[in-house]
A = this chain, B = another copy of it.
Amino acid sequence: MSAREYLQQHKIQYTIEREEVVTYLMENLTHPTADEVYRGLKLMDSSVSRATVFNTLKTLAEHHAVSTLLIEEGVIRYDISTKPHAHFRCSRCGRIADVVVNSNASFCLPEGYSACNISYVIVGRCPECQEK
């Protein structure tokens, strides 16, 4: 699906900047921060401003067109992947990887609560950072 169609599908008004941001996310499934998206676009000769990237990502998140990952202190990472999956963060190098969830854990939600989203964050060591 094109970025343009993606915006349409999520009922978000089209602008060149939004298309650029969505395209970047689609081509870089690396859970980037807003600043990483900004710097990535700059390298590709985009003229978007940093504020617009931040605002655009916030808009996309509000429309559930991207999900926000709270996986690292101090920054918000964004993910345009639609399939539910868990995230792995290496405690040494900070690398973030996708992880397939085999089965859902069952939770004892107290009476009256309802869930709409469950996220899993696994912290550990990636292959390069294993203790010898």
A103 at interface by CB-CB < 8 Å: yes
Interface residues on A, range: 35 or more
> A93 an interface residue at 8 Å Cβ cutoff?
no
**Cβ A122 vs Cβ B107 within 8 A:** yes
From B91, B109, B122, B130, A122 is in contact (CB under 8 Å) with: B109
Cα(A116)–Cα(B31), bound, Å: 21
A16 within 8 A of B: no
Binary contact track A72-96/B, C-beta < 8 Å → 1, others 0: 1100100000000010100100000
- A109 proximity list for chain B (CB < 8 A): 88, 99, 122, 124
Q: Which residues of B contact A99 (CB under 8 A)?
A: 107-110
